[in-house]
Chains A and B, each alone.
Chain A
Amino acid sequence: MSSARMSTLASLRDTIRRLEVQTMPQCVERVALGHAGADATLQGGLLRGVLHEVFALETRQSASATGFVAGIAQRLAQQRPVLWVQQEFAEAEAGALSMSGFVELGLDPRRLVLVRVPNAETALRAGADALACDALGAVVLELWGRAKAFDLVASRRLTLAAQSSGVPCVMFCTAAEPALSTAETRWVARAARSLPGPTWEAWGAPVLDAELVRNRHGQTGRWIMEWNCDERIFHEPAADSQPLVSAPADRSHQASAPAGRLVAFKRAG
């Protein structure tokens, strides 16, 4: 392409971006995930007031993907209630959400309202209605399988509803292939192997493999992220994921001594 055409394209893209930002005043704020690489690619973080999609390609990956969805929903919601619309078949196949598990990940089960729907059409309708209520923090739609009801028209309706109220919508599909939609970002979440840690625990924080396969306003990428349950934020997996023992409080004369180097024990056998 000639350079004049390139610059025209670039200036047109700029104009469009400026126009879009003007028409959605509530969602200029971006919520950072915490992972430096992902946040850089997302130009600061995930937008509120748009549709995001997360796919789990197989049933085995659904729990890791649920963790990813719960994490980003919690971060997008910022202390407000989250409405989780769940198709009944998804609960039967992958298991029900367990609140003790939520608490273990650091999420707040008091702010979760679960809506159980029999099929995808009801789910989409419930989601569109819920997105009209701007007191919510986020709306999660959990579907199973390729739903014919979720086509371009339906996704455009969800996007418009999200834009007008500023409430983000996260579409979580399991055992389905991504298709055409108006989502701002599209992720494929998989489980990732845990890093070596201390011998007394099988794994520390949950580690997952998040691939950004489509980003309307930026690049794509694939990262391994670890969820920090105490701070409720994603970050890069620490090379050394052992919890540091804090310095003893009653030995003040040794407090200034530098901490020793930690040695990772290898697994026996």
Chain B
Amino acid sequence: MRSSAPDDAFFRKPWVVADKRNNALQIVAVNDAAVAAGLEIGMPLANARAICPDIEVFDADAAADTQALTHIADWCDRFTPLVALDLPYGLFLDISGCAHLFGGEAAMLSLVCRLLSRQGFIVNAAIAGTPACARALTRAVPGRIVPDGEEAATVAPLPVFALGVEDTITRGLRRAGLKTIGDVASRAPREIAARFGQAFTDLLREVLGQCDAPINPRRPPPDFIAEQHFPDPVATEETIAATLSGLAQKLVAAMERQGKGARRLEASFFRADGAVRTVVVDAGHAATRTKMIALLFRERLDALTDPLDPGFGFDLIRLSASRVDTVVQEQRDLDARTQDNDDVAALIDRMTARLGRQQVVMYLPQDTHIPERAMRIVPAQQHLPQALSAPWTQRYESEPPLRPLRMFERPEPIFVIADFPHGPPAHFNWRRARHRIARVEGPERIAPEWWNLATGMNPIENREARARDYFRVEDSEGCRFWLYREGLYRREVFEFRWFMQGMFA
């Protein structure tokens, strides 16, 4: 977004944006003053300087351009949720069904153009039945609105340059004597496809309105939307919270009519100066109560690391629900078990909203004998029913615990005095404390997974591929540890290293 410079004379100078194409600097964008001086897009920069020595040259920055386009696309969300990027400089907005909210197609077109030009952009816009047709119109006759069915007639007199295809094809069309789109359309499709390719033929059919390809929106459209416009932008927390409650109520009413509940809710805050911020909240099971939705959003807004900055105020707040599930209103039976599970699920949702998905977790068993991988940590919100009924292997009756209660994620190296080469440990030093071993049991050999190619490789070089001999030891004070000695003597290692993997209760 360019802000107005204090010096007007700066604007009246010719500006160009130059980029390196084919090993030479070429002009890719010009302003009005540059066009008046005779410069055009595609001219080498050296020629441009010769024609007009007093030009301002800016470097092309494709990444910044794309980011600016993305911001504009975010801003355009207020008109319709279906917005697609048309790189490098365009946007597609699918307004089927939205135009009446803004007073008709013509009013909407002029509103969009006016608001965008007020922010400093030059806008060419058009409305048509297919995206390709609208695009062709913006390149040749901006500001047109094409009624349904008249696409072919409207684009017929336009020059072929409006199709927006590569230079080679455009030149080929001109050399073949086809100067307007009408000329191209009058030829048989077979001939066009043979000469210019099937892709071009498909594009032509879209431009003529004969077939319609939907755009690829940046986000899938939500299932339910409730929004609130503010003629006077709001910025205080209480108003925002009250607005979210009101919108949640509308949303819940709409969902209830169809018997649905939402598992993902997004609140979008549109600032008056164009920036958009979206806050997403997930629920483990379908949320159907206003109070619950308002609470989840309050937790999430409180816990944002980058707090919501209203700037000059929000002029539109929108609440949308996606991932809806059909909710069956069950009768609460006398057994309180279902009610309890719902309460726990609601608590998990609130904690996840505040702390994050990876911080509220449950455990699932893994089928492996490698101790540090025997369990998998999963977010509790998604996997609650799965984790509550996971099949853990039972322990052997009347056997002492064979696995430690606490296990280190990275085994810690220790210094051990033991009989060489295969004897049990007698003393060890861990974290600068000396422990004398009173009882020891072992070794329990745990070999790596030979079927797993990544670890089954050369054990001499690859530490993951070495066997481990585990010992359950108790020291003179009663603390119980799980140590291991890494590697088989002479087959994998030539000197031993010992590690502490965990501690028993």
Which of B127-135, B244-252, B497-505 binds A?
A: B497-505
Q: Is A208 an interface position by the 8 A CB rule?
A: yes
Q: Is B276 an interface position by the 8 A CB rule?
A: no
Residues A97 and B406 in contact, CB atoms below 8 Å apart: yes
Q: Is B355 an interface position by the 8 A CB rule?
A: yes
- Per the bound structure, the CA–CA distance linking A111 and B359 in Å amounts to 17
Given contacts A113-B360, A126-B355, contact A203 B400 (CB under 8 A): yes
Give A162-181 interface residues, CB cut-off 8 Å to B. none
Q: Is the interface of B mostly helix, strand, loop or mixed?
A: mixed
> What distance in Å separates the Cβ of B338 from its nearest Cβ neighbour in chain A?
11
Kindly name the residue among A101, A134, A135, A205 whose own CB sees the greatest number of chain B CB atoms within 10 A: A101
Residues A104 and B401 in contact, CB atoms below 8 Å apart: yes
Q: Is B90 an interface position by the 8 A CB rule?
A: no
Q: Is A255 an interface position by the 8 A CB rule?
A: no
Residues B375 and A133 in contact, CB atoms below 8 Å apart: no
Residues B347 and A193 in contact, CB atoms below 8 Å apart: no
Residues B479 and A64 in contact, CB atoms below 8 Å apart: yes
Given contacts A103-B393, A116-B359, A135-B343, contact A96 B407 (CB under 8 A): yes
Chain B residues contacting A230 (CB-CB under 8 Å) are 397-398
Q: Is A220 an interface position by the 8 A CB rule?
A: no
Question: Which residue of B is nearest A88, CB measured?
Answer: B359
Residues A130 and B347 in contact, CB atoms below 8 Å apart: yes
**B362 partner, pick from A100, A114, A200, beta carbons under 8 A:** A114
Question: Which residue of A is nearest B500, CB measured?
Answer: A95
Chain B residues contacting A45 (CB-CB under 8 Å) are none
**B398 partner, pick from A70, A193, A243, beta carbons under 8 A:** A243
Which of A1-9, A26-34, A55-63, A149-157 binds B?
A: A55-63
Chain B residues contacting A191 (CB-CB under 8 Å) are 477-480
Q: Is B389 an interface position by the 8 A CB rule?
A: yes
- Per the bound structure, the CA–CA distance linking A99 and B404 in Å amounts to 9
Q: Is B405 an interface position by the 8 A CB rule?
A: yes
Chain A residues contacting B390 (CB-CB under 8 Å) are 109-110
- Per the bound structure, the CA–CA distance linking A105 and B406 in Å amounts to 12
Q: How large is the interface on A (under 10, 10 to 19, 20 to 34, 35 or more residues)?
A: 35 or more
Residues A192 and B478 in contact, CB atoms below 8 Å apart: yes
Q: Is B409 an interface position by the 8 A CB rule?
A: yes
Residues B406 and A63 in contact, CB atoms below 8 Å apart: yes
Residues A100 and B344 in contact, CB atoms below 8 Å apart: no
Q: Is B312 an interface position by the 8 A CB rule?
A: no
- Per the bound structure, the CA–CA distance linking A105 and B399 in Å amounts to 10
- Per the bound structure, the CA–CA distance linking A207 and B505 in Å amounts to 8
**Could you list 8 examples of A-B contacts with CB < 8 Å?**
A98-B375, A98-B406, A113-B344, A202-B439, A202-B473, A203-B441, A205-B401, A227-B505
B residues at A contact (CB < 8 Å) = 339-341, 343-344, 346-348, 350-351, 354-355, 358-363, 365, 371, 374-375, 377, 380, 387-390, 392-395, 397-398, 400-409, 431, 433, 438-441, 472-474, 476-480, 502-505
A residues at B contact (CB < 8 Å) = 59-64, 66-68, 70, 80-81, 83, 94-106, 109-117, 122, 126, 129-130, 133-136, 190-194, 200-209, 227, 229-230, 243
New A-B contacts (16) at CB < 8 Å, excluding given A109-B392, A193-B474:
A62-B406, A66-B505, A81-B344, A96-B407, A103-B392, A104-B401, A105-B401, A110-B392, A113-B360, A115-B351, A115-B360, A116-B358, A194-B439, A202-B472, A205-B400, A206-B480
